[in-house]
Amino acid sequence: MARVYNWQIGREMSYWYPESRPKRQFAAVFDLNKCIACQTCTLACKTTWTSGRGQEAMFWNNVETKPYGFYPLGWDVKILQMLGKGVWRNGVYEGLTVFEAVGRGERVLGFRPEEADYAYPNIGEDECAGEVEKGVYLSGIHDVWMFYLPRICNHCTYPACLAACPRGAIYKRQEDGIVLIDQKRCRGYQECVKACPYKKTFFNPVTGTSEKCIACFPKIELGMQPQCFENCIGKIRLQGFISTPKEAREDNPIDYLVHILKVALPLYPQFGLEPNVYYIPPIHVPFSFLEMMFGPSAKEAVERYQAERKDEDGRLRGLLALFGCTPRTVERFKIAGGEAIAMNEKGEELVRVPVKEPVFIRPGFDPASGVARLNTP
Ligand code: SF4
Ligand code: SF4
Ligand code: SF4
């Protein structure tokens, strides 16, 4: 095992291979306050990449309801139980990662789900934590909660799937950090399925190989956002590239949200993979739950998100307005003249949107047409 630095857990850790960061790292931010679980992303991926034989129960993109939704069944609860409770102190994770909690001769702590665990991708949908008393649901704010969690492969900096593969069939591209499975080398041993704590590699019984999200790399190479991003109805997603904390740039949208404003957090950083999909946590969920899922700074992230969003000309509000507004990859952004402007790597403009959404209030009666409108207050 090599020693590598993982900034998300604030310390060095053990990993099967030495540290080797790509030239650029594919990354994304999902704003969980906006997801409506319409599953358009799921279908966009399914119809593009996994409509073949052997892929029937395979969803490279899935959306589950937390706390009771899982795909596959119990994926996070099981690995959290195996890892045990780990303590965070001053931003440093003092528990064991999946690479450190292993027995002799093993590379990664994990488990392989049963075939039936993939059969209910929508289990727990819309189920709330807690109960609403009969008759009180229209009388005020109640404290039951749930939220939707869309998930794709995290194209991790330290992929467990890659570390576990005895065939060396999994590789991380130097040009963009995307993690892929070489279908010619894979022999279907499913060590990656067992190792990935996010359960984002899948076994195809027809081809006898494992498959996973490919980050729509043919689109990335053209400067386009992936299918599940471009088609997101709620405009909750933005794809780009992330720098290391030391090299963070104010005009890079992902760096800004993750490193500078610190409102977007990795999913289960304690696993130790340095995942590269980041989430703006939901504002209505107990902090204890959010801290278990997104690390110890979840409370500050939610509070900062709420405070910054109130600034009507602010950078956060402008940047959030750019989510889902262009099919191109946004590598830079700026706010000028009340508009948020998205740019490509060369600084060429892709799209501009108003930071503050214009609101037009129409009168109830339109004298020009002599009609009364019913849909006005
Ligand atoms: S398309 Fe967007 S809003 Fe709809 S479920 Fe997927 S992530 Fe959520
Ligand atoms: S999320 Fe899982 S499948 Fe994707 S790179 Fe990380 S370990 Fe591999
Ligand atoms: S990035 Fe592409 S391959 Fe990956 S889940 Fe989204 S649509 Fe599917």
Number of the ligand closest to the Cα of 323:
1
Segment 203-216 mean pLDDT: 98
Q: How far apart are CA 290 and CA 67, in angstroms?
A: 11
Q: How far apart are CA 348 and CA 350, in angstroms?
A: 6
Number of helical (H) and strand (E) elements in the chain, helices listed first: 10, 19
Query: Which two three-digit tokens encode residue 284?
Result: 């209505």
Number of the ligand closest to the Cα of 149:
1
Q: What angle do CA 200, 156, 54 make, to 5 degrees?
A: 20
Q: Where are the alpha helices (DSSP H) in 280-349?
A: 287-294, 298-309, 315-322
The amino acid sitting at 73 is L
Atom of ligand 1 nearest to the CA of 37: 5
Q: How far apart are CA 333 and CA 352, in angstroms?
A: 10
Q: What is the mean pLDDT of the chain?
A: 95
State the pLDDT at residue 96. 97
**% the chain with pLDDT above 70:** 97
The amino acid sitting at 2 is A
**Extended strands (E) in the chain:** 2-6, 11-15, 25-31, 62-66, 88-89, 92-93, 147-151, 170-172, 179-181, 201-204, 209-212, 237-242, 265-266, 277-280, 332-336, 339-343, 349-354, 365-366, 371-372
Q: What is the DSSP string of 145-211?
A: B-EEEEE-----SS-HHHHH-TT--EEE-TTT--EEE-TTT-----HHHHH-TT--EEEETTTTEEE
Burial per residue of 86-108, b for 16 or more beta-carbon CB atoms within 10 angstroms, e otherwise: bebeeeebeebbbbebbeeeebb
CA of 146 to the centre of ligand 2 (A): 25
Q: Does residue 377 carry a pLDDT above 70?
A: no
Question: Cβ contacts of residue 86 below 8 Å, gap of 6+?
Answer: 93, 94, 95, 96, 270
pLDDT class for 73, splitting at 50, 70, 90? very high
State the pLDDT at residue 366. 85
Question: Which residue, by CA, sits nearest to atom 7 of ligand 3?
Answer: 45
Query: Which two three-digit tokens encode residue 81?
Result: 């139980």
pLDDT class for 266, splitting at 50, 70, 90? very high
Segment 79-108 mean pLDDT: 95
CA of 216 to the centre of ligand 3 (A): 5
The amino acid sitting at 294 is F
Q: Which CATH topology does 2-131+145-280 take?
A: Alpha-Beta Plaits (3.30.70)
CA of 196 to the centre of ligand 2 (A): 6
CA–centroid distance for 283 within its chain: 16
pLDDT class for 320, splitting at 50, 70, 90? very high
Does 30 sit in the ligand 3 pocket, CB within 6 Å? no
Number of the ligand closest to the Cα of 150:
1
Residue with tokens 């889902």, as numbered in its chain: 324
pLDDT class for 137, splitting at 50, 70, 90? low
Q: Any residues with Cβ below 6 Å from ligand 1, and which?
A: 35-41, 63, 148, 150, 232-234, 236
Does 214 sit in the ligand 3 pocket, CB within 6 Å? yes
Bridge partner list, 353 = 340
Cβ–Cβ < 8 Å for 99, 163: yes
Q: Which of 75, 198, 199 to mutate to test the pocket of ligand 2 (most atoms within 8 A of CB)?
A: 198
Atom of ligand 3 nearest to the CA of 219: 2
Does 28 sit in the ligand 3 pocket, CB within 6 Å? no
Q: Indicate the pairing of strand 88-89 with strand 92-93.
A: antiparallel
Residue with tokens 């590379």, as numbered in its chain: 107
CA of 26 to the centre of ligand 3 (A): 12
Q: Which helix (H) or strand (E) holds 34?
A: none
Q: Any residues with Cβ below 6 Å from ligand 2, and which?
A: 153-156, 159-161, 179, 196, 198, 200-201, 212, 273
Q: Which helix (H) or strand (E) holds 30?
A: strand 25-31
Cβ–Cβ < 8 Å for 181, 212: yes
Domain locations along the chain: 2-131+145-280, 314-377
Q: Which of 36, 59, 125, 279 to mutate to test the pocket of ligand 1 (most atoms within 8 A of CB)?
A: 36
Segment 285-293 mean pLDDT: 97
State the pLDDT at residue 217. 98
Question: Which residue, by CA, sits nearest to atom 2 of ligand 1?
Answer: 232
| Local structure of 89: helix, strand or coil | strand
Question: Which residue, by CA, sits nearest to atom 5 of ligand 2?
Answer: 155
Would the CA dihedral through 117, 123, 124, 126 be positive or negative?
A: positive
